[in-house]
Structure 1
Amino acid sequence: MHRELTHHKLHQTLKLRAHGARLPPGPKTAKTGLAKPWLYFRELSAQYGDVVSVPGLSSNPTIVLGSARAAWDLLERRGAVYSSRPRFVVGGELLSGGMRGLMAPYGDFLAPLAQAAPLGLHAAPERRLESAVLVRDLLKDPGCFREHLERYAASVIVLVTYGRRVTDVASDEVVRRNVEAMGRLTSVNIPGKYAAERYPALKYIPAMFAPWKAEVLKQRQKDIQLYMDLLNDIKDKVARGVATPCFTTHLLEEQGALGILPTPLARRSVQTAGTLASFFLACVKFGHNFIPRAQEELDRIVGRDRLPAFEDMEELEYVRAIASETFRWRPVAVLGGTPHASTADDVYNGMFIPKGSTIIAPLWTIHLNEKDFPEPHEFKPERFLEQRDFPGTLGHTAFGWGRRICPGAHLGAASVNLNIARILWAFNVTPAKDETGQDIDVDIFAFTDGFNSSPLPFPCSILPRSQYHAEVVRRTHEEAVNELKVFDSSR
């Protein structure tokens, strides 16, 4: 192994000399095994600049991008070179058997997903109906708002992917097993966590001598069983003529590519629920600065007799700015999603990026870059009402870049926009009170570890703006439930 590493370093040195350039600056050694590596990456970018070389995280060079401009220039403008994936020894090979589209190299394997995604992820009127259920759940039991967000996000994704609803997160077997699968996936994909990423030969150690490998292989079998059960359920419904059109029925009928299904189901559910939880956190901490203006806009454009609809969003400029600031302020995909890999040698601003490099663009660094977002930890929707020199059209990069942009970006953005509009239309969200009647402060830095990061539990007060608003919520919920009966999982 030492001989292979020495040869690899010699090969890189020869390529550097041939290009007349040096690797990007960076530390001589990297910190590994960190629970929150995105905090470390931000420190590195502050010290070394927008493009940093970090040794020792994998068997190939690792390049960390610290600005939106650098990420845009490489991952978007030079997408032909930077759209593949690095080798994921633990998550991609041991856990996923090379069949998870999220980690697959760019190429023909992803074509069925790219063709089916617009059908499965863009055309989803069920979002409107499930949103009505969410708002009513918040009205009925506001103390369990996190559970309601998780149920909503899970149900939308399961509806779109498998054509069935989720009515209770705690009792739904699919959700429970999916959460377990996603938890394992996000935990193994933390850069530098496993020595096998730096020394791939370790994957061949028998599981009986490597507890970490035994755990991963056990989860792989659970994942296979979960998605076979879901597939068999769909096939049964198709045979009985009661299947509702969804992502999976389309792939069964047209593509025959079922190995790429697991990730969209798990990932987008977690990110949507986490983003909406961050919105509530922002309401508690900063709501007095933005909620009154948002509610004035909603009352003026939507009125009091109905919930906001998708058709209203174009006119709800300030509400859209709140959603954009939520994506920016506390991105769930703190590491920028799944890393990219370069497929050819490249030179950027005089820095050499070798073929096969792992490229990480952590959103915790990019979205909190003070050059683009002054006072980055403040929640200021007004940022998105101003003209700014920021690459792209969204003003943030929460959904990734280029050819590997999240296929559920449209679904996720539309869901967050609509729910923020409806929550602000229906409720006053304020700090919870302690036993003395004082506001309970919240910690805007208390977030989970892992590949995706969401707020840790926090209290808040969610009260209807008026009894009239509450009655509109109840009426809309009743109408939505009737329309959703076609998706009853017992069919």
Structure 2
Amino acid sequence: MGQSIVVLNSAQAASDLLDKRSAIYSDRVNAPMVNDRALLDWSDFGGMLPYNDAWRRQRRIMTNWLNPRSVIQFNGLQQDEARLLLGRLLHLSGTPGLFEKVKHQFSFTTGSTMLRLIYGYRPKEDQDSIYVNALQASINLFQSTMINFLVNAFPILARVPDWVPGTGWKRTARKWREQKNEAVNAPYEWTKQQIAKGNFEHSILSSLLQEDESSSELSIADQEKELKQLCYTLFVGEDFVQHLRPECYKYVTYGQNQTGGTDTLATAFLSFVAAMVTNPETQKKAQNEIDSVIGYATRLPTLADSSQLPYIRQLTLEVMRWLPTAPTGGPPHACSQDDIYRGYNIQNGTMVMGNVWAMSRDEVLYKDPERFDPERFADPDVVPPPGFGWGRRKCPGTHFAEASLFLVISSMLTTFALCCKVDKNGKEITPKIEGDYNQLALTIKPFEFEIRPRSEEHRQLILDNIPKD
């Protein structure tokens, strides 16, 4: 296909190019199925924008709202969503088909959290139309980057008349374009209506809509168009393959085997469950730390407790290293000018990927890398895994994501026991944790486990802390 690709297998190489030379390694590779106006017409989606002024404007707004100081205002929202999740998990305890049900609840929790953060919109259940449309559009987007759509390899195909046999993919593109417009417009218009009524929840969009934009260099219409795309980009994730919903994992995307969706978190939560079920001594140590700090079944953890729970942070870092959610580093960067690195000539337009899987298995950085060992991060010289990308394309929501990871993981450890299933003789059946490592986003294959409250007091603690509408 004529596309040059460079894969960076070490943390040093990724830092040298994607961080230190980010001025020329922050572009994106073109996917005509997404960008062509006659097809999906989504060239203004932030995750696909080239490194240009529009991307910089969107990034500036994201950074203003998601930096460590600003994101604190949404901690209560994250806490509520974590506690709502506990209530839903409690109802799943003891039911069959637990893996798929728990995966679904993790996905809904992350989607609901993002809709509230961005639009102030609270989906009541997982069939909510705004939630479903937003999710479907993201799935369509990731499918549109697939090499299966030959137009991504041969852009001239976009000009082939619709009546030519074999162009059904163009009808698919038009259908997806309509779904995209609905997903982008509906929550935006809902928030505008709520503001007009004076009945709205504080969110990024509600605040931006009330700001004075008279100094903007864009027209009112262009401002609104860009703001709609900014909001949907936040929902999906600017570094979108890093932020996958489990529903999206079956798709293969342009340029390599990879997938896409909205959130590293849903995948990381599944990895956390896998780690706890197969490492009960680690789970017990984490629960002992929580009990010693906040008490046994006395209250649920808050973000204010995080500094007193170092083992929980170490455990979270190890989850992200042990089963990295984006093993090949998320959507590829592209080099915007010719460069030379370690004697290699890297041409303008080259696709550049960071091999996070290889970095997480680097024995120089991580001793015995296949073993799940949170205590490795007690050593300040051990570097955290690169779970949120690099350089100017690094996920702007890192601090928000880390807060959600802490709240969900610490809350689940406080209240639940994650256990192996037992056979008819009462013997534990330790599951084999397997993933599809040929995909850019890790897919964990279903495994059996049990989730139950640690005690009757913990069951009541969950029920007493479910947020009321």
TM category (shorter chain) comes to 0.7 to 0.9
Distance apart, 1:119 and its partner CA: 5.4
> Would the aligned equivalents of 1:85 and 1:106 in 2 still touch at CA under 8 Å?
yes
- 1:264 paired with 2:234, answer yes
Q: 2:19 is matched with which residue?
A: 76
d(CA) in 1 for partners of 2:7 and 2:152?
17
Q: 1:234 is matched with which residue?
A: 191
Q: 1:222 is matched with which residue?
A: 179
Partner of 2:196: helix, strand, or coil?
helix
- 1:408 paired with 2:397, answer yes
Q: Structure 2 matches for 1:119-198, cutoff 5 A?
A: 120-121=65-66, 122=71, 123-124=73-74, 125-142=76-93, 143=98, 144-169=101-126, 171-189=127-145, 192-198=147-153
- 1:199 paired with 2:154, answer yes
Distance apart, 1:405 and its partner CA: 0.8
d(CA) in 1 for partners of 2:424 and 2:388?
41
d(CA) in 1 for partners of 2:405 and 2:365?
23
Partner of 2:308: helix, strand, or coil?
coil
d(CA) in 1 for partners of 2:287 and 2:443?
26
Question: Which of residues 268, 275, 278 is equivalent to 1:275?
Answer: 268
- 1:452 paired with 2:422, answer no
d(CA) in 2 for partners of 1:362 and 1:212?
32
> Would the aligned equivalents of 1:237 and 1:243 in 2 still touch at CA under 8 Å?
yes
d(CA) in 2 for partners of 1:166 and 1:186?
23
Aligned CA distance change for structure 1 residues 157 and 129 (closer, same or farther; 3 Å): same
Question: Which of residues 95, 100, 103 is equivalent to 2:40?
Answer: 95
d(CA) in 1 for partners of 2:382 and 2:232?
37
Distance apart, 1:364 and its partner CA: 2.8
d(CA) in 2 for partners of 1:329 and 1:165?
33
- 1:417 paired with 2:428, answer no
d(CA) in 2 for partners of 1:221 and 1:131?
33
Partner of 1:262: helix, strand, or coil?
helix
- 1:341 paired with 2:298, answer no
d(CA) in 2 for partners of 1:251 and 1:450?
37
d(CA) in 2 for partners of 1:92 and 1:167?
33
Tell me the TM-score normalised to structure 1 length.
0.79
Structure 2: which amino acid aligns with 1:156?
T
Partner of 1:261: helix, strand, or coil?
helix
Partner of 2:6: helix, strand, or coil?
strand
Q: 1:36 is matched with which residue?
A: none
d(CA) in 2 for partners of 1:261 and 1:106?
18
d(CA) in 2 for partners of 1:448 and 1:441?
21
Aligned CA distance change for structure 1 residues 151 and 259 (closer, same or farther; 3 Å): closer
> Would the aligned equivalents of 2:25 and 2:336 in 1 still touch at CA under 8 Å?
yes
Aligned CA distance change for structure 1 residues 350 and 408 (closer, same or farther; 3 Å): same
Q: Which moved more, 1:123-132 or 1:181-190?
A: 181-190
Question: Which of residues 476, 479, 491 is equivalent to 2:465?
Answer: 476
Distance apart, 1:357 and its partner CA: 1.2
Q: 1:21 is matched with which residue?
A: none
Aligned CA distance change for structure 1 residues 282 and 187 (closer, same or farther; 3 Å): farther
d(CA) in 2 for partners of 1:118 and 1:313?
23
Offset from partner CA, 1:156-195 (integer Å, 9 cap, x none) = 10100110112321x21222222222222233435x5544
Aligned residues: 416
Aligned CA distance change for structure 1 residues 289 and 91 (closer, same or farther; 3 Å): farther
Q: Structure 2 matches for 1:386-405, cutoff 5 A?
A: 386-388=379-381, 390=383, 395-405=384-394
Partner of 2:418: helix, strand, or coil?
strand
d(CA) in 2 for partners of 1:161 and 1:467?
37
Offset from partner CA, 1:186-209 (integer Å, 9 cap, x none) = 33435x554433332233334553
- 1:293 paired with 2:285, answer yes
- 1:67 paired with 2:19, answer no
Aligned CA distance change for structure 1 residues 253 and 204 (closer, same or farther; 3 Å): farther
**Larger helix percent:** 1
- 1:443 paired with 2:413, answer no
Q: 2:313 is matched with which residue?
A: 320
Structure 2: which amino acid aligns with 1:91?
V
d(CA) in 2 for partners of 1:338 and 1:84?
11
> Would the aligned equivalents of 2:328 and 2:356 in 1 still touch at CA under 8 Å?
yes
> Would the aligned equivalents of 2:185 and 2:228 in 1 still touch at CA under 8 Å?
no
d(CA) in 1 for partners of 2:41 and 2:425?
52
d(CA) in 1 for partners of 2:350 and 2:186?
38
d(CA) in 2 for partners of 1:369 and 1:212?
42
Distance apart, 1:295 and its partner CA: 1.2
Distance apart, 1:101 and its partner CA: 0.5
Percent of paired sites with the same residue: 28
Tell me the TM-score normalised to structure 2 length.
0.82
Distance apart, 1:307 and its partner CA: 0.8
The unaligned stretches of length 5 or more in structure 1 are: 1-55, 486-491
Structure 2: which amino acid aligns with 1:86?
V
Q: 1:384 is matched with which residue?
A: 377
Distance apart, 1:401 and its partner CA: 0.7
> Would the aligned equivalents of 2:433 and 2:445 in 1 still touch at CA under 8 Å?
no
d(CA) in 1 for partners of 2:437 and 2:88?
25
Structure 2: which amino acid aligns with 1:294?
A
Question: Which of residues 59, 83, 104 is equivalent to 1:114?
Answer: 59
d(CA) in 1 for partners of 2:445 and 2:135?
16
Aligned CA distance change for structure 1 residues 250 and 339 (closer, same or farther; 3 Å): farther
Distance apart, 1:363 and its partner CA: 2.4
d(CA) in 2 for partners of 1:442 and 1:427?
19
Aligned CA distance change for structure 1 residues 213 and 413 (closer, same or farther; 3 Å): farther
d(CA) in 2 for partners of 1:200 and 1:376?
43
Q: Which moved more, 1:218-227 or 1:179-188?
A: 179-188
Across the aligned residues of Structure 1 and Structure 2, the Cα RMSD in angstroms comes to 2.3
Distance apart, 1:466 and its partner CA: 1.6
> Would the aligned equivalents of 1:335 and 1:451 in 2 still touch at CA under 8 Å?
yes
Aligned CA distance change for structure 1 residues 439 and 166 (closer, same or farther; 3 Å): farther
Distance apart, 1:113 and its partner CA: 2.4
Distance apart, 1:120 and its partner CA: 4.5
